[in-house]
């Protein structure tokens, strides 16, 4: 499968080997390297896609963040674009940490900005709370104790 990145299309192409969207003709390989598979999130600033890196033999999964703001106003969009770029800069400055997705790429294509990050499999906090219910005091302490080294790492940079 190949998810089209064109915000006006987003067609789910059945073939994972085609290079152009069957519906709109948009290029499906981002940066001639990353093939999106499906949308895994969306918000006010854009969408997040699960993708694969086709340059690597094992075709490892990765995450693509597409900057596509949903609000109006040139100054607001410009500020949001600057913040998106700043996110990429900060991720690059952080470097590699086992609990922070690594920045793999940042670029523009078809007049849109993209950020490519390492994919980390697992549940997010909201999913865990939904499946397990509220955390006990001990679980909360353990969670915070696991987060403190990450905060220290970020703060040191």
pLDDT in tens for each of the 157 residues of the chain?
Answer: 899 999 999 999 987 788 999 999 999 999 999 999 999 998 878 899 999 999 999 999 999 999 987 766 677 788 888 888 898 999 998 888 888 899 999 998 988 899 999 999 988 888 999 999 999 999 999 999 999 999 999 999 8
**Cβ atoms within 10 Å, residue 117:** 19
Name residues whose C-beta falls within 8 Å of residue 82's C-beta, 6 or more positions apart in sequence.
none
Q: What is the pLDDT of residue 71?
A: 65
How many residues belong to the chain?
157
The phi, psi pair for 141, rounded to 5°, reads -60, -45
Q: What is the pLDDT of residue 36?
A: 96
Q: What is the pLDDT of residue 72?
A: 66
Grouping H, G, I as helix, E, B as strand and the rest as coil, residue 133 is coil
Full set of structural domains in the chain with CATH: 2-121 (3.30.200.20), 122-157 (no CATH)
Q: Provide the terminal-to-terminal Cα distance of the chain, rounded to the nearest Å.
A: 39
Q: In a 10 Å sphere around its CB, with 0-12 CB exposed, 13-18 middle and 19+ buried, how is residue 86 labelled?
A: exposed
The phi, psi pair for 114, rounded to 5°, reads -135, 145
Q: What is the pLDDT of residue 96?
A: 85
DSSP H or E run through 97: none
CA atoms within a 13 Å half-sphere pointing along the CA-CB vector of 25: 0
Q: What is the pLDDT of residue 124?
A: 85
């Amino acid at each position: 499968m190949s998810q089209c990145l064109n915000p006006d299309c987003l067609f789910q192409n059945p073939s994972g080997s085609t290079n152009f969207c069957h519906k709109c003709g948009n290029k499906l390989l981002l940066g001639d390297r990353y093939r999106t598979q499906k949308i895994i999130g969306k918000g006010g600033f854009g969408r997040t896609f699960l993708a694969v890196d086709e340059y690597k033999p094992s075709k490892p999964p990765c995450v693509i963040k597409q900057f596509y703001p949903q609000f109006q106003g040139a100054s607001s969009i410009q500020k949001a674009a600057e913040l998106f770029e700043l996110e990429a800069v900060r991720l690059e400055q952080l470097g590699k940490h086992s609990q922070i997705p690594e920045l793999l790429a940042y670029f523009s294509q078809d007049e849109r900005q993209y950020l490519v990050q390492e994919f980390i499999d697992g549940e997010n906090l909201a999913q865990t709370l939904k499946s397990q219910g509220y955390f006990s005091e001990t679980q909360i302490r353990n969670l915070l104790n696991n987060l403190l080294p990450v905060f220290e790492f970020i703060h040191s940079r």
